[in-house]
Amino acid sequence: MFARRYPRKALPTRSRSSRGPTLYTPSPMAKVCHSCGKGPSFGQSRSHSMVATKRRFNPNLQKVRVLINSAPRRVYVCTRCLKAGKVTKAL
């Protein structure tokens, strides 16, 4: 309908450093359950104004000694698998 003479101004963007801390910490061992493969899931935090920010739901993983091929090994196992007895703990 009406032609713009001048282009719209770009909205100011937030710099990468103002986003806060990173959502994960790198580790040499994967943070997934050894028996069921349960890992982190992702969703959104909603503030009172319903502004959505990304967040990460981590499973309740415990590092336990488990018998794997009759040899004890330290692996991450979720508490649901520990409670159900899906893994045999090494003494």
Residue 72 pLDDT exceeds 80: yes
Residue 74 structure tokens: 């330290």
Distances from the Cα of 48 to the Cαs of 43, 44, 56, 76, in angstroms?
Answer: 16, 13, 19, 35
Mean pLDDT of 5-21: 57
| All structural domains of the chain with their residue ranges | 29-84
pLDDT in tens, 14-65: 555 555 554 444 455 678 999 999 999 999 999 999 999 999 999 999 999 9
Q: Above 60 in pLDDT, residue 78?
A: yes
The pLDDT of residue 4 is above 70: no
- Is the domain spanning 29-84 CATH 2.10.109.10? The answer is no
